[in-house]
Chain A
């Protein structure tokens, strides 16, 4: 049986998306090292990232603490990164959960949902969701 040859082919497609009226504020604030939630609706809920439901609302600063809802334990997904993993967290002051990165990545046995976390911002920020991550809070 002959071995199939493979070559890595880099397909690079660039799109320009509008971040929208709320997303633009949210992402700009990340560049400034601030995490904002959008408080709107009746009863009012603080959403992060913001969802534009068309109504009025106000921005509120949230964090820096957070609760770990779930994360991807090492070996549970196709990801090979050991420095960080995908996680769902509820930031203090927010009513919705946020997808983010948790550092460092953890084994299932070493960290449980419910753990307290704290936010960390990168020194060099670009106005993107990757400008920050969460770490376990010091006890």
Chain B
């Protein structure tokens, strides 16, 4: 268990379709630094996440815009949760005193061409058409068939989240709206610092499954429980905010179950996914940073705790649970 010696000092985010990403990265970094009351020269290390198959070539360019020139840079070719964990570990281990974490994604490209099938096994999955939408549909059908999820709950949750995200009129190319990501563009930045601050990082836990897990193991609730067990902290009494960011509403509502059941909250509680969830503005692997920021914002000037669940991969199988706490006495 971590000692809780890392704090979120500043944040910035830009979300929207057609976002000019280079400008957005610059703006969110500027916002995060301003929130932390720091200049770029005070940053020891830059950690970036946003390398997907469609913008991998831009990692270097955007990392430079984020402030990586002349300082240590870690580009994490993985999920937001993984990148956040990397940044926290750098601070917790004393390898840096301040870390600028920046992530971005151009999800609108995926609406035209979802390249994630490249992740699928070239012998046994890719030739069969195991694209991300098909794997997500297998997950959905299995959860529904097992009685772990109901169409009524999914429909209610999906509609409510779309309203929160102000996407009520959007269509999802004929797919079930609770199954399809609502592709967006986005950039997020956080300044993390060793020592105390307004919101401290309590701990994080992870769970991971392959591109197409075993059919008996397709429930994100199981992965979240596994990740939570790695966090030596309980949240029953002071829980104030919960966010889950994943590629589909189905995956989010399933993942939320263990936390909400423990707290006695309903999925439509206003303290849950105030942003509308990740599926409503999905910009790829970095999406989870937005939800960490949302929880941090909710906890500022409070003493409450909060949880951000990052669900990356086609069905949320790269799961990271981040626990935060407001530091107000």
Contact = CB atoms under 8 A, between A and B. Distances in A.
A113 B307 CA distance: 34
A71 B129 CA distance: 12
B215 A79 contact: no
Given A49-B124, A70-B142, A72-B134, A78 B176 contact: no
A120 to B, nearest CB: 15
A73 B141 contact: yes
Given A19-B123, A70-B141, A75 B176 contact: yes
Nearest to B211: A99
The secondary-structure label for the interface of chain B is loop
Given A86-B128, A129-B128, A77 B123 contact: no
A101 B124 CA distance: 11
B57 interface: no
Given A99-B128, A101-B128, A49 B138 contact: no
Given A17-B123, A23-B123, A99-B124, A79 B141 contact: no
A77 B145 contact: no
Contacts, number: 92
A72 B138 contact: yes
A20 B293 CA distance: 44
Contact of A71 (B130, B138, B174, B218): B138
A97 B138 CA distance: 12
Interface in B241-260: none
A130 B127 CA distance: 7
Nearest to A95: B214
Given A69-B142, A112-B145, A79 B133 contact: yes
Contact of B138 (A88, A90, A96, A129): A88
Contact of A99 (B122, B130, B174, B176): B130
Contacts of A73: 137, 141
A128 interface: yes
B239 to A, nearest CB: 33
A134 B125 CA distance: 15
Contacts of B127: 128-130
Interface in B26-75: none
Contacts of A113: 141-142, 145
Contacts of A23: 123
A61 to B, nearest CB: 18
Contact of A90 (B137, B140, B145, B215): B215
A134 B135 CA distance: 18
B226 interface: no
Given A69-B142, A90-B215, A129 B176 contact: no
A70 B123 contact: no
B111 to A, nearest CB: 10
Contacts of A36: none
B138 A86 contact: yes
A71 B20 CA distance: 38
A78 B212 contact: no
A101 B122 CA distance: 16
Contacts of A71: 138, 141
A27 interface: yes
Contacts of B214: 96-97
Nearest to B218: A70
B134 A129 contact: no
Nearest to A133: B128
A77 B134 CA distance: 5
A77 B142 contact: no
A29 interface: no
B3 to A, nearest CB: 38
Contacts of B141: 70-73, 76, 108, 113
Given A76-B179, A77-B136, 15 more contacts: A70-B138, A70-B145, A71-B138, A72-B137, A75-B176, A76-B137, A76-B141, A77-B134, A78-B133, A78-B175, A79-B133, A81-B129, A88-B212, A97-B215, A130-B128
Interface of A: 15, 17, 19, 23, 27, 49, 69-73, 75-79, 81, 85-88, 90, 96-101, 108, 112-114, 128-130
17 contacts: A49-B123, A69-B215, A70-B138, A70-B218, A71-B141, A72-B137, A73-B141, A75-B175, A78-B131, A78-B134, A86-B135, A90-B215, A96-B214, A97-B215, A101-B129, A112-B145, A113-B141
